[in-house]
Structure 1
Amino acid sequence: MNANALSPRGIVLFAHGARDARWAEPFERLAAKLRALSGSGTQVSLAYLELMTPDLAGAVAAQVAAGCTSITVVPVFFGQGGHVRRDLPLAIDACRAAHPHVDIRGTVPVGEDDAVLDALAAYCLRQLS
């Protein structure tokens, strides 16, 4: 049996951050939904680029401490602006350097996924009622 199959996996939802703590509420709800759907074998964390904690390095370190050997960073952004194109790859590379035994990968921003765009379009259409 694959040893990684027994290790918890990690998902880090990576968002921009804001001064107003209420800004993070939808991301916290998303993380809670993901925890409920993914089961106990998956660690789910939030991380922020700036203005809020934890940062990506802190979230990844916590997941590594919890035993994760595979971590996926999901940018909760609508597109690939400078933060996703420039800042996030540097932060992921720093995490890889700090934890060379852990498979750390990033995905495209959620806003570039057709299923996410379909859900948003359906939401917008419901507002016409």
Structure 2
Amino acid sequence: MKAILILAHGSREKTTLETLERVTEMTKTQLPEVVIETAYMEFCEVNLEKGLDKLVERGAGEIIVIPYFLFSGVHIREDIPSEIDEYRIKHPDIRISMGSTLGADPRLAGVLADRIREAL
């Protein structure tokens, strides 16, 4: 089974975690056939390894990590790939890849334009 792990930075602020959970639930509604879990790089109990473990426990043999990040900073370029490589060593039978950041997407520009309109 193929599954998705949405990976965010994480925060000490509970509202940040609640926001990702709401976004994830909206995403699951749009993709009901896809198994999706969330995890965080920092400040949260469910880190990347635990998120991957949750999906493996649900029967995933292939996992795509989707970073819920805007930019390709050090977490994207170094930290996440390194942690994925470590996980692969412990679980050689699980295929793991990483998708793209949210980045410069016209759909995000539309959301930003909406926020600007709201503020004007």
Q: Report the TM-score range of the alignment, normalised by the length of the smaller protein.
A: 0.7 to 0.9
Shift of 1:113: 4.5
1:73-128 per-residue CA deviation (whole Å, 9 max, x = no partner) reads 11111101112211111111122222222221101211x15244333333234325
Partners of 2:61 and 2:95 lie apart in 1 by 6
Offset of 1:67 from its aligned partner?
0.7
Provide the rounded CA distance (Å) in 1 between the counterparts of 2:34 and 2:115: 32
TM-score, structure 1 as length reference: 0.81
- The TM-score, its normalising length taken from structure 2, stands at 0.87
Alpha-carbon distance in structure 2 between the residues aligned to 1:29 and 1:14: 14
Unaligned runs of 5+ in 2: none
User: Which consecutive unaligned segments of at least 5 residues does structure 1 have?
Assistant: 1-6
Matched, 1:11 2:4: yes
The corresponding residue for 1:118 is: 109
Aligned alpha-carbon RMSD (Å): 1.8
Find the residue that maps to 1:127 and give its secondary structure.
Answer: helix
Q: Distance in 2 between matches of 1:126 and 1:12?
A: 33
The one-letter amino acid paired with 1:101 is D
Q: State the identity %.
A: 28
Q: Pairwise mapping of residues 21-36 of structure 1 onto structure 2 (< 5 A)? A: 21-36=14-29
1:46 corresponds in structure 2 to: 38
Inter-CA distance 119–103: structure 2 relative to 1 (3 Å threshold):
farther
Structure 2 counterpart of 1:88, from 68, 71, 80 = 80
In 2: Cα distance, 1:102 partner to 1:116 partner = 32
In the TM superposition, what is the alpha-carbon distance from 1:53 to its structure 2 partner?
2.0
